Amino acid sequence: MAQIEVDRTENPSDEITLPRFVVLKSNHNNKYLSYTNISEENVDQVPTGFLKFSGEEVGSHYAKFEVEMAKSCENKGLVHIRCCYNNKYWVRLLRTNTPEDDHWIVAKANEPEEDRSKSSCTLFEPIITVEELNDPVLNEEDDNDAISDGENDVAEQHQVHNDGNGDDEEDNDNDNDNDNEHDNNNRRVHAGRNRFDRKRMLVRLRHVQLGHYTRLWKDNENIQHLMGGLSTSPDNNTNNNTDVNSNNTDESSMCDVCTVIDWGSLVIFPKHVAFKGDNGAFLTSDWRGWNANLEYEGEDFRGAQVAHEIFTNPDGSIRIKSDNLGKFWCRRPGDPDWILPDSDDPTRNDTLFQPIKIDDNEFALRNMGNFNICKRYTLGCMVGFTANVPNIPIFAHLRIEEVVRSRIVYNVSYRLMQARIYDYQNEIEIATGEAVNLTQETTGMTFKLPYKNTKRVSWNDARTLSMKSGGVKTTMQAGVPMIGEDGKLAISSSGFNCGSTIIKWGEVETWETAVQNVCKVVVPAMTTVEVSLIANRASYEVPFNYSRRDTRTNGQISNNDMDDGIYTGFNFFNFNYNIKQKNL
């Protein structure tokens, strides 16, 4: 078995910071810290906002947290942590009738608190260390070791028939020259052991007001529903160990250490997708002679050959199954390491891929059979997919489209108690008017102030916010959360016709309404009056539960009840007039 080498490097906490959005994985039980949905059975036993190291999936919307830097200068380097599922901040659990519970850290605070003297203080100090992990990449032709716990069985060689001689030919696409040979991207990297270098961030989080580190709670195994909860209990001497890299190998020493995963680096796919290459063509799975081939031939995401099903593993790696052929993508060792949709064995590393995010629209795939990047590769008249380069050239860039023809979202229930309002802007001038009274008598005048009332909204699901997929035509049967004149969120149907509208799921919709505001003012003699219409504006994020009915491009229909909806928007509210007089 291959061994992973670890080089630990301590960095001062002020030189390295946590990502904005994080997932925290316990180094004790290898579970992800997650928001706990309280069931009817344990509603009296588990506190609201309970956080627990029990998550199985790195991409779960229950496991996403936002790190906010403290605002005051004296708290530089300290952070607040917000649970993205219920939009509440980490804080001590304070229950007057059960003071022994005050060691729990729960997602319950509505606002951050930086006063360290208060028990409601939400400040945490992150102690960060970075590990350099040097993973050996095994070449199956040169090394028979398994890459993971399961053995990587030797694949049957599938020969692809073509007219070429094995060298790269010109790409037939007029907009793309052949894959640039200058950096030898089209050649297989032949080496007994290549290296895939990566880093791992470790963190311990100290509750500033208590002075204790947060840790996985495991002191009383008889209370199963609280096992793995996030606690600041100083038991087991874990808080006496201030070094993440301590040589103490007692298992309890890892209860307060977490591995940090950058949520922004995750690629979380919808279930049914089509893959579009850098040349604008979709990857198609079909037969070429007696062989199953994967080629850049599709022109429309609605074609039967372009549809694929994603199987996501808990660590975020994926397997891809062709809808057309019913088989998994698999690397076939040999020059140039073709990826072919011909495997019935989803346990092999050659069928396993790690998505690598390039930006919000594009990603690349690393095949875990040889740790190489998959890319577009031209051989003769065939433009296929190979895993044969160590870096990410432009020819490896991919996009996705959901193979969903239409979507209906209904039974929408906005969780207004878990909404957050942010980015307040006060007294924005929207429209102005001026009146001049040149007479010697006071007179009344009417102002007509035209303006465009702009609202910007978006419906999406938290699971796939990490990768834009072009938007799915969606019929929304729901009202719209909006900030009213009282500054509070409420549900309005004014943006819809009969409570239903057509949107694109995951895309921002901008609604503009022409409005003419009428204002009557009294203008004194020999006076100029300037009237300004002003309003406040704020953005908001509202989680929601919903039912979803998808009709795929092949006509199949799926119905699902979901709790991962995220509605975002902004609007103007609290309209007022600002009146100024000037004597002539």
Q: What is the dihedral angle through the alpha carbons of 537, 538, 539, 540, rounded to the nearest 10 degrees? A: -130
Query: CATH class for domain 135-196+266-402?
Result: mainly beta
Alpha carbons 433 and 440: distance in angstroms, whole number? 22
- Write the pLDDT tens digit of every residue in 10-44: 544 457 899 999 999 999 999 999 999 875 445 55
Helix, strand, coil abundance in the chain, percent, nearest 5 = 10, 50, 40
Alpha carbons 88 and 93: distance in angstroms, whole number? 13
Report the range out of 153-157, 174-178, 184-188, 425-429 with the highest average pLDDT: 425-429
What's the chain's length in residues?
584
- Write the pLDDT tens digit of every residue in 171-202: 444 344 444 433 333 333 333 334 455 789 99
Between 541 and 141, where is the model more confident? 541
Report the SS3 class of residue 266.
coil
- Write the pLDDT tens digit of every residue in 445-494: 888 889 888 888 888 887 764 555 667 888 988 888 999 988 999 998 65
- 550 Cα distance to chain centroid: 22
- CA distances 501 to 456, 475, 514, 543, 568, Å, are 15, 6, 19, 19, 16
Please state the rounded mean pLDDT for residues 375-393: 95
Alpha carbons 170 and 126: distance in angstroms, whole number? 53
Q: Is residue 347 within 8 Å of 298, Cβ to Cβ?
A: no
pLDDT at 332 over 80: yes
Alpha carbons 489 and 191: distance in angstroms, whole number? 60
Domain boundaries, the chain: 5-130+199-263, 135-196+266-402, 404-583
pTM (2 decimals)?
0.81
Report the SS3 class of residue 224.
helix
Query: CATH class for domain 5-130+199-263?
Result: mainly beta
Please state the rounded mean pLDDT for residues 494-508: 68
Q: Tell me what pLDDT residue 500 has.
A: 67
At the fourth CATH level, the homologous superfamily of domain 404-583 is Proaerolysin, chain A, domain 3 (2.170.15.10)
* Percentage of residues of the chain with pLDDT beyond 70: 77
pLDDT band for 148, please (50, 70, 90 cuts).
very low
- Write the pLDDT tens digit of every residue in 272-310: 999 999 999 999 999 988 899 999 999 998 889 999 999
Please state the rounded mean pLDDT for residues 555-561: 94
Return the HEC string of 146-186: CCCCCCCCCCCCCCCCCCCCCCCCCCCCCCCCCCCHHHCCC
Mean pLDDT of the chain: 81
Q: Same CATH fold, 135-196+266-402 and 5-130+199-263?
A: yes
Quick one: DSSP state of residue 101?
G
Between 106 and 192, where is the model more confident? 106
Q: Is residue 16 within 8 Å of 128, Cβ to Cβ?
A: yes
- Write the pLDDT tens digit of every residue in 253-282: 689 999 999 999 999 999 999 999 999 999
- CA distances 513 to 282, 451, 475, Å, are 39, 8, 21
Q: Tell me what pLDDT residue 43 has.
A: 54
**φ, ψ for residue 252, nearest 5 deg:** -70, -20
Please state the rounded mean pLDDT for residues 36-62: 81
Q: Identify the bridge partners of residue 403 per DSSP, sorted by sequence position.
A: none
Please state, as a whole number, how many other Cβ atoms lie within 10 Å of the Cβ of residue 428: 11
Please state the rounded mean pLDDT for residues 370-388: 95
